[in-house]
Structure 1
Amino acid sequence: MKKFALAIALSFASLPVFADVTVDDVWVRATVPQQMATGAFMRLTSDGDARLVSADSPVANVVEIHEMIMDGSVMKMNAIPGLDLPAGKLVELKPGGYHVMLMGLKQQVKDGDEVPISIVVEAADGARQTIELKAHARPLNAPSGGQQMQHGKH
């Protein structure tokens, strides 16, 4: 009986341990007709070292993690393979910085729409989890901070 209990305990020990990631203030910028891209923004806090490795949304053909960087006097946007989420530190995806880019939009995103977005977070041990989000569309001229759109642990 002890061998059986030990075998069960060892099998549970090998299960992946997911970082507990809190995601809040999830939003996207509304678009004008025929606009083919928009950004999604959020605040992420992970209780363990993790990495945002991908994102997806049914409203766009292509979804990538991007960064905005200064190259001399020119602001450039680049796709990146992932974004570190250091344990216990707030990581903000915001206009002018890191963000999720939704490209090849299938329809206009209107102020007040709820846009489904899924993000994939990879823990330090390589285990991955998908977090489903609903991003509230804010007007084109919305400030980057503001009200919380979604809060809680996922």
Structure 2
Amino acid sequence: MKKVIASLLIAASPLAFSAQLDISRASLKANTPGSDNTAAYMLVENMTKDDVRIVAAESSVAEFTELHSHKMDGDRMIMRHEKYIDVDAGEAVRFVPNGYHIMLINLKKRMKHGEQEDITLKYDDGTTQTVTFEVFDPRKAAE
């Protein structure tokens, strides 16, 4: 009986329902000399039957790591900090330039082409998912 109760408690824990998204095309733009900020992009797919809400991102290489979007405001493109980004069940969200992205602010080191850096996504159910991003320099990628 104790084993059955323990199994039920584990199954009911938040970790049992962790919202893991399928992440691909994870790339982090190398920061240009003199810039302390950069952005990360990815394709986020929710292959589950439950909606998932990303509520934060963290990185050890930046003082602040934030969810951002670009939106048109009249004739101006405005970047905004987002409190969360929803990924509906069975849907995909693209994190791209001039759209949703992860902003890394006040970098602690220079991001160099060919390196890898981890960013951890936090979900509203309390779970996290660490994603490895490939650092790219558009100037070198074209070579």
Tell me the TM-score normalized by structure 1: 0.80
Confirm or deny: 8 A CA contact 1:37 1:105 kept in the other structure.
yes
Confirm or deny: 8 A CA contact 1:120 1:128 kept in the other structure.
yes
Measure the CA separation in 2 of the matches of 1:11 and 1:111.
46
Structure 1: state its 5+ residue gaps.
144-154
The yes-or-no answer on 1:75 pairing with 2:77 is: yes
**Residues 110/12 of structure 1: CA separation in 2 closer, same or farther (3 Å cut):** closer
Task: Write out per-residue CA displacement over residues 98-123 of structure 1, whole angstroms, 9 at most, x where no aligned residue.
Answer: 0000000112211112122111123x
Confirm or deny: 8 A CA contact 1:34 1:108 kept in the other structure.
no
Counterpart position of 1:111: 113
Counterpart position of 2:33: 33
Counterpart position of 1:43: 43
Confirm or deny: 8 A CA contact 1:31 1:140 kept in the other structure.
no
Aligned to 1:7, the other structure's residue is in SS state helix
Counterpart position of 1:102: 104
Larger relative helix fraction: 2
Task: Write out per-residue CA displacement over residues 12-68 of structure 1, whole angstroms, 9 at most, x where no aligned residue.
Answer: 442221123111110011112221110001111121211111111111101100010
Task: Write out per-residue CA displacement over residues 96-152 of structure 1, whole angstroms, 9 at most, x where no aligned residue.
Answer: 100000000112211112122111123xxxx22111121111123589xxxxxxxxx
10-19 vs 74-83, greater mean Cα deviation: 10-19
Where do 4+ consecutive residues of structure 1 move more than 6 Å? none
Tell me the TM-score normalized by structure 2: 0.86
Measure the CA separation in 1 of the matches of 2:116 and 2:5.
46
Question: Percent same amino acid at aligned positions?
Answer: 29
Q: Which amino acid aligns with 2:81?
A: A
Kindly tell me the number of residue pairs found equivalent between the two proteins. 137
Confirm or deny: 8 A CA contact 1:60 1:102 kept in the other structure.
yes
Aligned to 1:128, the other structure's residue is in SS state coil
Counterpart position of 1:130: 128
Confirm or deny: 8 A CA contact 1:69 1:75 kept in the other structure.
yes
114, 137, 140: which one pairs with 1:139? 137
